[in-house]
Amino acid sequence: MYLIVGLGNPEEKYFKTFHNLGFLAAGDVADSLGVKFRKKECESSVAEAFIGGEKVIIARPLTYMNASGRAVKQLVAKYKISQEELVVLYDDYDLPKAHVRIRPAGSAGTHNGMRSVIAELGHGDFARIRIGIRDPQVNIPIINYVLADIPKADYDAYAAACKRAAEAAVCLAKGDKIDLVMGKYNA
């Protein structure tokens, strides 16, 4: 079983912000597997799919970004997910805009949602798929930037990055080795 979690904020006003790229990528995972977010459990909106007979849980925490770890911890406990079966999708200010970067483990960097996940789980030993948002031409505080709407001129690039991130997550859930997925999808 795999748990794929897209980090974001649940209110509609945040839907097209940089901080919701994890939510958008999780939506792309669900779309590619032909499922919808129909359940609410563990403080998350959840979709269930099957890949090769194995269950895959796709989740969007409803706890808001900075408390994402609370929902992830509940989902991990409920579904008895090992660290090898967890994939987290999220935006990353430390990467150039619309770049996708996959890592098997690591720190939270500047991301408060990931800080919450790592703090609640007690480790950072799980796969993460990051979607870069840094634009060197924008010079505003990070908190204002991540909650800003994605400019219309950049939306297609971010939509494509979310689809690539979703494809990578599905490959991991199919059992592809992370090194191969990194080689294929890291920009």
- Give the residue among 144, 149, 110, 155 at the shortest CA–CA distance from 130: 110
Q: CA 100, CA 148: separation in Å to the nearest integer? A: 20
- Give the residue among 155, 179, 182, 157 at the shortest CA–CA distance from 167: 182
Question: Can 19 be counted among the known catalytic residues?
Answer: yes
Residue ranges of alpha helices (H) inside 33-106 are 68-79
- Give the residue among 18, 25, 105, 12 at the shortest CA–CA distance from 59: 25
Q: CA 85, CA 33: separation in Å to the nearest integer? A: 17
Residue pair 140/98 in contact (Cβ under 8 Å)? The answer is no
Q: CA 106, CA 5: separation in Å to the nearest integer? A: 16
- Report how far apart, in Å, the C-alpha atoms of 165 and of each of 99, 101, 148, 151, 182 are: 9, 8, 21, 20, 11
Which residues are catalytic, by number? 19
